[in-house]
Chain A
Amino acid sequence: VLEARGIPTALLVTSPFLAKVRYEAASRGQPSLVIKSMPHPVASLPLDDLRTIVEQIAPQLVKELTTQSEPTA
């Protein structure tokens, strides 16, 4: 939804959900959406642990978002 509104968007999901999220992105017309996976599970992780994991992955997400080719007019 965000990507369709022109807001660059990246998805971070745990590994068991990667195929599902790729399928949903494609069916929503966003086959090239940036999607990265992280280790499962996270539902009960303390917030500080979660923050550490995300901080490790965030630079890679930013890099992929900013190096994607711009759509031609």
Chain B
Amino acid sequence: LVVVQQGLPADLVQVADDLEDICEYFIDHSWSDGLPVIPPTVERVERMLAAVSRNRYEVVAKIPPSWREATVEIVAINSVMAGCLPGYFPVVVAAVEATGVDRFNLTAIQTTTNPVTPLVIVNGPLAPDLGINSKGNVFGHGYRANSTVGRALRMVLMNVGGSHPRTTDMATQGQPGRHGFCIAENEQDSPWEPLHVDLGYPRDHSVVSVVGVTGTDNVHDLSVEAEGLLRTLCSHVATAGMHNVHVGGGPLLVLGPEHAALLAEGGMSKDDVKMHLYQHARVPLAEFSPENMRMIRQRRPASAIGDEGSPGVTIADEPAAISIIVAGGAGTHSQILPTFGRASCLSSRDLGPASVNTRLA
């Protein structure tokens, strides 16, 4: 069996025609996240490349800390290894491209002690066409598109960027999302306009966004009035170790559809929710040790901290720094995803109005 190795252009390497030997070969070369890979044969890589109309040697992004070039072809190789179907490939390319923009600060994300990892959020018609889960167990297992798109991005960050645990990737603990973190927004069950419309894209376009998140934190709330849920959200997010409290930027709030409906029925827009969290979710100054308070004063604007008698440190530098999407199924749960601060803002790529079927035609 012939497999394709990462080079520029890619090299062909002859390996034993045995699946277990091939997996060992990739793991021995540190070209795996620890799980077995699909062997990237010429045929499989070509099928992946056929899903986009881009030159195979075009550079999608330069990935730190190696600063090697992730070409379309190399992204295709890693997508095969991750188990992607060819239809997913435009989403993977867009995600790699979105992480490569300067303001995303991938250098820090790739090498920090923080557990941060890029979460891929897909909006628009492509998401249901590809079967990207936006409903029940949206952050969990069971959906090939979610699992393999996120894994393909991780493979590129690791294999091209040279970000390897305990040598160049200095994450103290990391997080499960580092195996692959991709969801779609549940636009169907959302009372509001979806994220890509918030970001200024046409509603009928498919948009791939990435945001650096430090983890997921579940918020359970049984309130029947918006006010009760808001109180719980404020209490839950405003904690003394939460990353945005320390470094600024703002968190991503992933509301379950029932919680989103409760807030909308209470007459709240997304901007109203953001403003409420900005104003009322505060960590009292007395909760910080002197060391943490010193860091917060260095990193946060004075407006986020306030003077003596302040109600506390805000969870975001401004209301607009908080992002809100709707995802998940039935139930009274939402998730707070703190971000890596200003360095991990949402970065997006527009895939246009075409569905996957027309794209592959």
Which residues of chain A have a CB within 8 Å of any CB of chain B? 16-17, 19-20, 23-24, 27-28, 44
Contact = CB atoms under 8 A, between A and B. Distances in A.
Contacts of A19: 167-168
Contacts, number: 26
B111 A20 contact: yes
17 contacts: A16-B170, A17-B170, A19-B167, A19-B168, A20-B65, A20-B111, A20-B167, A20-B170, A23-B66, A23-B167, A23-B168, A24-B65, A27-B65, A27-B66, A27-B68, A27-B162, A44-B291
A17 B65 CA distance: 13
Interface in B263-312: 291
A9 to B, nearest CB: 17
Among the interface residues A17, A24, A28, which one has the most CB atoms of the partner chain B within 10 A? A24
Q: How large is the interface on B (under 10, 10 to 19, 20 to 34, 35 or more residues)?
A: 10 to 19
Interface of B: 64-68, 111, 162, 167-168, 170, 291
B170 A23 contact: no
A20 B67 contact: no
B296 to A, nearest CB: 14
A28 B68 CA distance: 10
Contacts of A20: 65, 111, 167-168, 170
Contacts of A27: 64-68, 162
A20 B168 CA distance: 4
A44 B288 CA distance: 14
A66 to B, nearest CB: 28
Contacts of B67: 27-28
A44 B294 CA distance: 10
Given A24-B64, A28-B67, A44-B291, 8 more contacts: A19-B168, A20-B65, A23-B167, A24-B111, A24-B168, A27-B64, A27-B67, A27-B162
Contacts of B68: 27
A17 B167 CA distance: 8
A64 B107 CA distance: 28
A71 B164 CA distance: 33
A44 B167 CA distance: 23
Contacts of B64: 24, 27
B162 A23 contact: yes
7 A-B pairs closest in CB distance = A24-B65, A44-B291, A27-B66, A20-B168, A23-B168, A27-B67, A19-B167
B93 to A, nearest CB: 23
A2 B170 CA distance: 24
A20 B64 CA distance: 12
B140 to A, nearest CB: 32
